[in-house]
Amino acid sequence: MAKGAPPKRLSPGQRGRGAVTRTGIFLAESRTAPYACDQFASSVAFGNSGFPANLEESMGFWKGWILGFLAALVAAAAAVFCYFDFGFAPVATAAAPMPFERFLANHALHAVVARAAGKVSPVDPTEANLQSAATVYRENCAVCHGLPGEGKTRIAQGEFPKPPQLLQGKGVTDDPVGRTFWVVQNGIRLTGMPAFGKTLTETQLWQVAELLAHAQDLPASVKDHLTRLAPGPALITLQKPPRWTHAVFPSG
Ligand code: HEC
């Protein structure tokens, strides 16, 4: 438009059909554009409220948006299906996490355990309780979560997601003990973290949760119990005496 020339008046036919508007916005004319987009663009360009005036127009307007929305949903679902079906999704434990995987997993876990966090422990962190917990930990947890001053076990290195080293550094010492109790009792789905709710007693669960909460200020005897070389797991986990002991010691 030449400098100083009066603004070009638009004929009614030009309005909303693609033209150089008074404000200088260029709307590409597109006879094939869906009605709703056309309507929306023209209403924006001419400073309307953005909504069609009568019922019939309004129906068309919303129909266009709803159809567009449904088409976008179908396209997104198809893209997700192809991602998994064509083998793009990581399945090996060594592979990088999927897009949003960490966020979604953490978010879901956080939402559930937040409710358990307020539970008050019926077990005090006395030396005797922490000693019992250290035995439970050595037998059931150390294989994945490690012992103080030791490197990660082979099992820990091969897992995804990685089990945190709970007795080194901060661990879960800053978590409410009720949260740790919940995790040990129920496990964490689709990770290596088992549920111990059916295999440890409620007292043992609280004891081990207390142990982890006090991992940074454990009594020397408990630390010693955790770091001392233990006999092989077969000896520790022996639940029943072997059969021959019944014959030798009938009362046992
Ligand atoms: C077979 C391996 C394995 C064993 C055995 C195991 N865990 Fe885990 N644990 C994991 C993994 C893997 C995670 C991490 C899960 C995740 O990232 O969501 C985890 C997570 C945890 C967490 C949550 C840590 C955090 O940062 O929130 C706690 C607490 C925990 N384990 C305690 C225990 C206790 C106590 C035991 C023993 C009674 C135990 N685990 C036994 C693999 C194991």
Closest CA to 180 of 116, 91, 133: 116
Residue 98, pLDDT score? 85
How far, in whole angstroms, is CA 102 from its chain's centroid? 5
Give me the number of domains the chain comprises.
2
Q: How many residues does the chain have?
A: 252
Specify the DSSP class assigned to residue 7: P
Distance 183 CA to ligand 1 centre (A): 8
183 CB within 6 A, ligand 1: yes
Q: Which residues contact 192 (CB under 8 A, 6 or more apart)?
A: 144, 155, 159, 161, 163
Whether residue 100 is predicted with pLDDT greater than 90 in this model: the reply is: no
Domain assignment of residue 124, given as a range: 101-231
Residue 3, pLDDT score? 47
Residue 26, pLDDT score? 43
With contact defined as beta carbons under 8 Å apart, do 51 and 43 qualify?
A: yes
Percentage of the chain exceeding pLDDT 90: 50
Whether residue 239 is predicted with pLDDT greater than 60 in this model: the reply is: no
167 CB within 6 A, ligand 1: no
Residues 49 and 105 in one domain: no
pLDDT digits (tens, 9 = 90+) for 171-205: 999 999 999 999 999 999 889 999 999 999 999 99
116 CB within 6 A, ligand 1: no
Distance 99 CA to ligand 1 centre (A): 23
Residues 121 and 171 in one domain: yes
Question: In 10 A of CB 222, how many CB atoms?
Answer: 22
- Is 96 within a domain? no
pLDDT digits (tens, 9 = 90+) for 32-50: 445 555 555 555 555 555 5
Phi-psi region for residue 187, left (φ > 0), alpha (ψ -120 to 50) or beta? left
Residue 198, pLDDT score? 97
Distance 169 CA to ligand 1 centre (A): 15
